[in-house]
Amino acid sequence: MAQRRAVIDRNQRLVQDMNEHAHNSKMIAQMMSEITGRPTPENFQMKLPFYTDYGGDLHFGKNIILNSNVQMTDLGGITLDDGALIGPGASLITVNHDLAPKHRRELFVSAIHIMENAWVGARAVILPGVTIGKNAVVGAGAVVTKDVPDNTVVAGVPAKIIKTIPDD
Protein backbone atom coordinates (compact mmCIF):
# COMPACT_ATOMS: atom_id res chain seq x y z
CA MET A 1 0.00 0.00 0.00
CA ALA A 2 2.87 2.41 0.81
CA GLN A 3 4.40 1.76 -2.62
CA ARG A 4 1.10 2.56 -4.38
CA ARG A 5 0.73 5.72 -2.26
CA ALA A 6 4.22 6.82 -3.35
CA VAL A 7 3.32 6.26 -7.03
CA ILE A 8 0.07 8.20 -6.59
CA ASP A 9 1.88 11.13 -4.96
CA ARG A 10 4.60 11.16 -7.64
CA ASN A 11 2.09 10.90 -10.48
CA GLN A 12 -0.13 13.65 -9.13
CA ARG A 13 2.89 15.96 -9.21
CA LEU A 14 3.73 14.78 -12.76
CA VAL A 15 0.15 15.32 -13.97
CA GLN A 16 0.09 18.81 -12.49
CA ASP A 17 3.45 19.59 -14.07
CA MET A 18 2.32 18.21 -17.43
CA ASN A 19 -0.90 20.26 -17.35
CA GLU A 20 1.04 23.43 -16.52
CA HIS A 21 4.21 23.05 -18.58
CA ALA A 22 3.92 20.53 -21.44
CA HIS A 23 3.78 22.65 -24.56
CA ASN A 24 3.91 20.08 -27.34
CA SER A 25 2.89 16.52 -28.14
CA LYS A 26 6.42 15.17 -27.64
CA MET A 27 6.56 16.53 -24.07
CA ILE A 28 3.08 15.17 -23.33
CA ALA A 29 4.00 11.69 -24.61
CA GLN A 30 7.23 11.71 -22.59
CA MET A 31 5.44 12.73 -19.40
CA MET A 32 2.68 10.14 -19.95
CA SER A 33 5.40 7.49 -20.25
CA GLU A 34 6.67 8.54 -16.83
CA ILE A 35 3.15 8.48 -15.38
CA THR A 36 2.20 5.05 -16.77
CA GLY A 37 5.63 3.48 -16.41
CA ARG A 38 5.66 2.31 -20.04
CA PRO A 39 6.34 3.92 -23.44
CA THR A 40 3.47 5.77 -25.06
CA PRO A 41 2.43 4.00 -28.25
CA GLU A 42 2.83 5.42 -31.73
CA ASN A 43 0.52 8.26 -32.73
CA PHE A 44 -0.56 8.90 -29.12
CA GLN A 45 -2.53 12.17 -29.03
CA MET A 46 -3.68 13.97 -25.92
CA LYS A 47 -4.98 17.47 -25.31
CA LEU A 48 -4.48 19.03 -21.91
CA PRO A 49 -5.58 19.30 -19.22
CA PHE A 50 -5.73 15.63 -18.25
CA TYR A 51 -6.48 14.13 -14.84
CA THR A 52 -5.79 10.75 -13.22
CA ASP A 53 -5.78 9.55 -9.63
CA TYR A 54 -3.07 6.92 -10.12
CA GLY A 55 -1.72 6.57 -13.67
CA GLY A 56 -0.01 3.24 -13.11
CA ASP A 57 -2.96 1.22 -14.45
CA LEU A 58 -3.47 3.11 -17.72
CA HIS A 59 -2.84 1.01 -20.85
CA PHE A 60 -2.97 2.68 -24.26
CA GLY A 61 -3.05 1.18 -27.75
CA LYS A 62 -1.83 2.84 -30.93
CA ASN A 63 -3.54 5.80 -32.59
CA ILE A 64 -5.65 6.84 -29.63
CA ILE A 65 -6.93 10.33 -28.96
CA LEU A 66 -7.67 11.77 -25.52
CA ASN A 67 -9.34 15.15 -25.83
CA SER A 68 -9.11 17.93 -23.24
CA ASN A 69 -10.34 17.60 -19.66
CA VAL A 70 -10.46 13.80 -19.68
CA GLN A 71 -10.53 12.26 -16.20
CA MET A 72 -9.35 8.68 -15.66
CA THR A 73 -9.73 7.18 -12.21
CA ASP A 74 -7.62 4.12 -12.95
CA LEU A 75 -6.99 2.25 -9.69
CA GLY A 76 -8.98 -0.64 -11.19
CA GLY A 77 -7.23 -0.45 -14.56
CA ILE A 78 -8.21 1.27 -17.80
CA THR A 79 -7.32 -0.15 -21.22
CA LEU A 80 -7.82 1.78 -24.45
CA ASP A 81 -7.29 -0.39 -27.53
CA ASP A 82 -5.98 0.84 -30.89
CA GLY A 83 -7.93 3.71 -32.41
CA ALA A 84 -9.98 4.60 -29.32
CA LEU A 85 -11.26 8.18 -29.10
CA ILE A 86 -12.15 9.81 -25.79
CA GLY A 87 -14.09 13.07 -26.09
CA PRO A 88 -13.58 16.27 -24.11
CA GLY A 89 -14.58 16.12 -20.47
CA ALA A 90 -15.23 12.36 -20.46
CA SER A 91 -14.77 10.49 -17.17
CA LEU A 92 -13.67 6.87 -16.89
CA ILE A 93 -14.11 5.77 -13.28
CA THR A 94 -12.93 2.37 -12.03
CA VAL A 95 -13.65 2.85 -8.32
CA ASN A 96 -16.84 2.68 -6.31
CA HIS A 97 -17.94 2.58 -2.67
CA ASP A 98 -20.29 0.39 -0.64
CA LEU A 99 -23.81 1.74 -0.15
CA ALA A 100 -23.77 0.82 3.56
CA PRO A 101 -22.61 3.91 5.49
CA LYS A 102 -20.36 1.95 7.86
CA HIS A 103 -18.42 0.49 4.88
CA ARG A 104 -18.63 3.49 2.55
CA ARG A 105 -14.95 4.45 2.86
CA GLU A 106 -13.88 1.08 1.43
CA LEU A 107 -13.01 1.12 -2.26
CA PHE A 108 -14.15 -1.44 -4.79
CA VAL A 109 -12.31 -1.42 -8.11
CA SER A 110 -13.25 -2.90 -11.47
CA ALA A 111 -11.47 -2.40 -14.81
CA ILE A 112 -12.75 -0.45 -17.81
CA HIS A 113 -11.93 -1.59 -21.35
CA ILE A 114 -12.47 0.63 -24.39
CA MET A 115 -12.08 -1.63 -27.40
CA GLU A 116 -10.68 -0.96 -30.86
CA ASN A 117 -12.02 2.13 -32.67
CA ALA A 118 -14.61 2.88 -29.98
CA TRP A 119 -15.58 6.51 -29.44
CA VAL A 120 -16.59 7.92 -26.05
CA GLY A 121 -18.35 11.26 -26.58
CA ALA A 122 -17.92 14.54 -24.74
CA ARG A 123 -18.72 14.49 -21.02
CA ALA A 124 -19.76 10.83 -21.08
CA VAL A 125 -19.21 8.86 -17.87
CA ILE A 126 -18.02 5.25 -17.99
CA LEU A 127 -18.54 3.45 -14.67
CA PRO A 128 -16.52 0.59 -13.11
CA GLY A 129 -16.43 -2.78 -14.85
CA VAL A 130 -17.73 -1.55 -18.22
CA THR A 131 -16.42 -2.68 -21.61
CA ILE A 132 -17.16 -0.51 -24.64
CA GLY A 133 -17.19 -2.81 -27.68
CA LYS A 134 -15.31 -2.50 -30.97
CA ASN A 135 -16.47 0.41 -33.14
CA ALA A 136 -19.11 1.39 -30.56
CA VAL A 137 -20.08 5.01 -29.94
CA VAL A 138 -21.09 6.49 -26.58
CA GLY A 139 -23.16 9.65 -27.04
CA ALA A 140 -22.22 12.92 -25.38
CA GLY A 141 -23.30 13.10 -21.75
CA ALA A 142 -24.23 9.42 -21.50
CA VAL A 143 -23.73 7.51 -18.25
CA VAL A 144 -22.65 3.97 -19.11
CA THR A 145 -23.41 1.43 -16.38
CA LYS A 146 -23.31 -1.78 -18.48
CA ASP A 147 -21.20 -3.23 -21.28
CA VAL A 148 -21.79 -1.79 -24.75
CA PRO A 149 -21.85 -4.33 -27.61
CA ASP A 150 -19.65 -3.99 -30.69
CA ASN A 151 -20.96 -1.73 -33.48
CA THR A 152 -23.67 0.00 -31.45
CA VAL A 153 -24.46 3.57 -30.44
CA VAL A 154 -25.60 4.22 -26.87
CA ALA A 155 -26.91 7.45 -25.36
CA GLY A 156 -28.79 8.71 -22.34
CA VAL A 157 -28.79 8.35 -18.58
CA PRO A 158 -28.45 5.47 -18.08
CA ALA A 159 -27.08 4.72 -21.54
CA LYS A 160 -29.24 2.56 -23.80
CA ILE A 161 -28.67 1.23 -27.31
CA ILE A 162 -30.21 3.63 -29.82
CA LYS A 163 -28.66 2.39 -33.05
CA THR A 164 -26.58 -0.29 -34.71
CA ILE A 165 -23.58 0.73 -36.80
CA PRO A 166 -23.51 -1.05 -40.17
CA ASP A 167 -20.35 -2.88 -41.23
CA ASP A 168 -18.49 -1.27 -44.12
Structure confidence by residue, pLDDT tens digits, 50-63: 999 999 999 999 99
Alpha-carbon torsion (9, 14, 15, 20), positive or negative: positive
| Residue 116 scores a pLDDT above 80 | yes
Q: pLDDT-derived band of residue 22, with 50, 70 and 90 as boundaries?
A: confident
Distance in angstroms (rounded) separating the CA atoms of residues 95 and 132: 17
Secondary structure element (H or E) that encloses residue 144, with its range: strand 143-144
pLDDT bucket at 5, cuts 50 / 70 / 90: confident
Name the percent of the chain lying above pLDDT 70: 99
Question: Which of 59, 97, 103, 113 is flagged as catalytic?
Answer: 97
Judge whether 59 counts as a catalytic residue.
no
How large is the C-alpha radius of gyration of the chain? 16
Mean pLDDT over 128-144 rounds to 99
Q: What is the pLDDT of residue 34?
A: 93
Angle between the 2-21 and 25-36 helix axes, to the nearest 10 degrees?
170
Tens of pLDDT, residue by residue over 43-98, are 999 999 999 999 999 999 999 999 999 999 999 999 999 999 999 999 999 999 98
Whether the pLDDT of residue 135 is over 80: the answer is yes
Instruction: Indicate if the pLDDT at residue 1 is higher than 80.
Output: no
Say yes or no to pLDDT of 23 above 90: no
Mean pLDDT (whole number) for 150-158: 98
pLDDT of 4 reads 80
Please tell me the predicted confidence (pLDDT) of residue 40: 94
Domains of the chain: residue spans and CATH: 1-164 (2.160.10.10)
CA distances from 130 to 57, 111, 113 (A): 15, 7, 7
Closest-CA residue to 61 (of 136, 140, 117): 117
Task: Name the strands in the sheet holding 125-126, side by side, starting at the edge strand that comes first in the sequence.
Answer: 50-52, 70-73, 91-93, 125-126, 143-144
How many CB atoms neighbour CB 105 within 10 A?
A: 8
